[in-house]
Structure 1
Amino acid sequence: MTDLTKTPVTVITGFLGAGKTTLIRHLMQNPQGKRLAVLVNEFGTMGVDGDILKGCADDNCPADAIMELSNGCICCTVADDFIPTLERLMALPQKPDHILIETSGLALPKPLLKAFDWPAIRSRITVDGVIALADAEAVAAGRFAPDEDAVQAQRLADEGLDHDTPLAEVFEDQIACADVILLTKADLAGQDGLAAARAVIEAEAPRKLPMLAVTEGAIDPRLILGLNAAAEDDIDARPSHHDGADDHEHEDFDTIVVDLPEIDDPQALSDRIADLARTHDILRVKGHVAVQGKPMRLLVQAVGARVRHQYDRPWGDAPRISRLVVIAEHDRIDAPAIRAMLQAVPA
């Protein structure tokens, strides 16, 4: 008999560095008896998150069930990339019980939901829910959400002023599309920071949304999987700044890839990245670096001036290539200066 049950998909969205990959790793390690598959979308041509997740593959989510699209937003490449990749996941020898989609940090989730209306997959897949991650510490500090009073004052002063930065629009669209909000890095935000972040999100959300505090991606999967939201049928309740537009652009952001020699001082690199964020308004840096005398890869992850690095796994037979992806707003990215600053780290 034909199985008419649709495979549930959870879309995990959130700003750059909010903790999406960390959350998926936790879900992979706590599958609740489900066989998972993962689709990762990166902004730019070099994937890092998919490689991290493949390092966590096991019988519940094998490496061949972790697929990556790194040549553009999945909602902009539906026919060429997104649909065929979903079909490959559905055609695996052991069909997944649940699919997790990690969008890029710059993605607008609503156009992606519209993609699930394509006839090739609509009868086979349903969007179980949209989970939006928000860095509680950053939101509490007002980095990625506008101050409503200040915006109103600007509007009154200059009707022609562009009140919203691109980052604010991305943040608001992700919140508006969500079924559940996860306030990540709760340990860094503290109780006062969490309360402030909740207030900001409540002011931006088009409807009341559950908000859960999370540290290091640790959450009971039952709280975010199995929501049965059928979000593809509920698009009108998820407003967007881009409603009515034929498509959306990512020209507000740009990426460069920086190759480095082997280094001998990870902290010096970390300090240089933090300086780069402060002087060039860099949003995100991520990648792997070879450290002299160390058999392990150094995983580097930075959100603004907050930099974390750790050895994740041996290089093995893979070439010891040090490569970082740098993301910034389009009019702020100075490729020669960024490369010169990073490549000046002592080898």
Structure 2
Amino acid sequence: MTDKHRVPLVLISGLSPSAGRHVAEKFRADRGTAVVHHDLRNVAAGIVHRRLQFGPRDQLVTLELDHGCVSCTLRHDLLPLLRKLSATPGVRRIVVRLDEAMEPERVCWELHHVLVGDRPVVEDVDVRAVLATVDLATWLADATGDDTLEERGLRGAPDDERTLAQLALAQVEFADVLVLAGSPPDAWTAAKTGAVLERVAPSAPLLELSAVDDLTLLDAVPAHARRGVPADPHDALVHGEPPLHPDCGVSVLTFTAQRPFHPERLHDAIDLLLDGVVRTRGRAWVASQPDVAFWLESAGGGLGIGHAGPWLDSPDGPAWDEVSPERRTLASLRWDPVWGDRAQELVIVTHQADPEEIEHALRSALLTDAELAEGRQAWARYPDPFGQWHSEPCEDTEPDPGRFDVNTNSGKDDTP
């Protein structure tokens, strides 16, 4: 497979539909560019509106899906359409303007792993850039708030329980370039938004929407950009090097330890990650389930907990040659003769919370020396609130165990 046989593909994500349209129009100025957009506002009813623009062609189609969700839209329409467009004469580039409810990493995972016919679509298209638009007037409030997608009318499926903050952070973290649109309400919001973006997406250049065209946007993509390659949950937790000094009250806390969490004390400590915290991402080692790496992720008032697969040192862990070079390097640097590659590693971006208070709570949740000496048989008897998926804050409702055993790259539920 070589790039000359693949059509360049650009993905545009973001919560602002007007900004996304503006960026797509800049690419469409090249007559060899086909632009695709799926409108998911009626996806819960099994209805999706797809618009395809190519040259003079401007086609709006209503799709009826058996199961209304983002994954259905991708697998039943977008992926086959991308393959078809890649073989269409005159199409030199494809631009996909994602619906506001869509996370670009999930789309890219499907491009790489879902077979359409006998091969994945990434063999027909070459992701040259993932762009995310940021509306400076509203993004900070959205990324630090508690509103759900349902409250904003943006659900990607009938059971989509994500918060707006989870979506806003996922979009900018996976982007190669951030396109700034709109005007912040005041200088403080502008400065604080910049401080947050520098810490959650440190490798992504920031460009003003009013000052760019398609060539400028593509030229801005860094050499080390992901370009649509999904992240491994055992890779580095931040793509790039965020500033470590506080700015506008925004701080980065990196929490590491080589002893397990007590499950109940960790459950209690998690509450601090849901108030005054912009973002938490990382792997956790929980004493009651020592062979599974937990994935812990928070954004605003939303929380996701899942499994990131076994540790390398686990009995059913992957072989060293089956994992990425980066994971092998990280594991080698911290390998313990007793615990192997098991470790705590969380990156927490705060904007109102006290990082020292969070650090203290997480340290207090680790096993004490006496508990550590009791060994694994004693740990297995600890009450474990993470044995099944639960909502945060906890509710007196029956848990859905299917929500916990997560196998996606983002470590979250398979809901897109």
Deviations 1:30-83 (A, max 9, x none): 32xx50112212223366783xx75xx645xx336x878685555444432222
Whichever residue aligns with residue 218 of structure 2, its letter is L
Q: Distance in 2 between matches of 1:238 and 1:38?
A: 33
- Of Structure 1 and Structure 2, which has the larger fraction of its residues in helix? 1
Query: Is the Cα contact below 8 Å between 2:131 and 2:177 reproduced in 1?
Result: yes
Residue 78 to residue 48, structure 1, CA distance change in 2 (3 Å): closer
Query: Do structure 1's residue 97 and structure 2's residue 263 form an aligned pair?
Result: no
Query: Is the Cα contact below 8 Å between 1:47 and 1:70 reproduced in 2?
Result: yes
1:13 corresponds to which residue?
Answer: 13
Deviations 1:182-235 (A, max 9, x none): 11114x657665433222222332x332011224xx622112236485624353
Whichever residue aligns with residue 224 of structure 1, its letter is L
Structure 2 unaligned blocks of 5 or more: 146-160, 238-280, 282-296, 298-303, 309-405, 408-412
2:192 corresponds to which residue?
Answer: 196
Whichever residue aligns with residue 131 of structure 1, its letter is L
Aligned mate of 2:215, from 192, 214, 222: 222
Question: Over alpha carbons, which structure has the higher Rg?
Answer: 2
2:77 corresponds to which residue?
Answer: 81
2:144 corresponds to which residue?
Answer: 146
Query: Is the Cα contact below 8 Å between 1:41 and 1:70 reproduced in 2?
Result: no
Whichever residue aligns with residue 167 of structure 1, its letter is L
Aligned mate of 1:63, from 41, 58, 61: 58
Q: Distance in 1 between matches of 2:111 and 2:198?
A: 28
1:248 corresponds to which residue?
Answer: 414
1:339 corresponds to which residue?
Answer: none
Q: SS of 2:218's equivalent? A: coil
Cα deviation, residue 238, structure 1: 8.8
Count of residue pairs brought into register by the alignment: 216
Cα deviation, residue 171, structure 1: 0.5
Residue 230 to residue 179, structure 1, CA distance change in 2 (3 Å): closer
Superposition map of 1:224-239 within 5 A? 224-225=217-218, 227=221, 229=225, 231-233=227-229, 235-236=231-232
Q: Distance in 1 between matches of 2:64 and 2:97?
A: 12
Cα deviation, residue 134, structure 1: 0.9
Superposition map of 1:275-294 within 5 A? none
Q: Distance in 2 between matches of 1:200 and 1:3?
A: 35
RMSD between aligned residues: 3.6
Structure 1 unaligned blocks of 5 or more: 148-163, 251-347
Cα deviation, residue 22, structure 1: 2.3
Query: Is the Cα contact below 8 Å between 1:41 and 1:74 reproduced in 2?
Result: no
Q: TM-score, normalised by structure 2?
A: 0.44
2:123 corresponds to which residue?
Answer: 123
Whichever residue aligns with residue 142 of structure 2, its letter is F
Percent of paired sites with the same residue: 21
Q: SS of 2:137's equivalent? A: helix
Superposition map of 1:157-196 within 5 A? 166-186=163-183, 193-196=189-192
Q: SS of 2:144's equivalent? A: coil
Q: Which has the higher contact order (CA 8 A, sep 6+)?
A: 1
Q: Distance in 2 between matches of 1:116 and 1:165?
A: 22
Q: SS of 1:104's equivalent? A: coil
Q: Distance in 1 between matches of 2:61 and 2:102?
A: 17
188-197 vs 10-19, greater mean Cα deviation = 188-197
Q: SS of 1:249's equivalent? A: coil
Q: TM-score, normalised by structure 1?
A: 0.52
Q: SS of 1:209's equivalent? A: coil
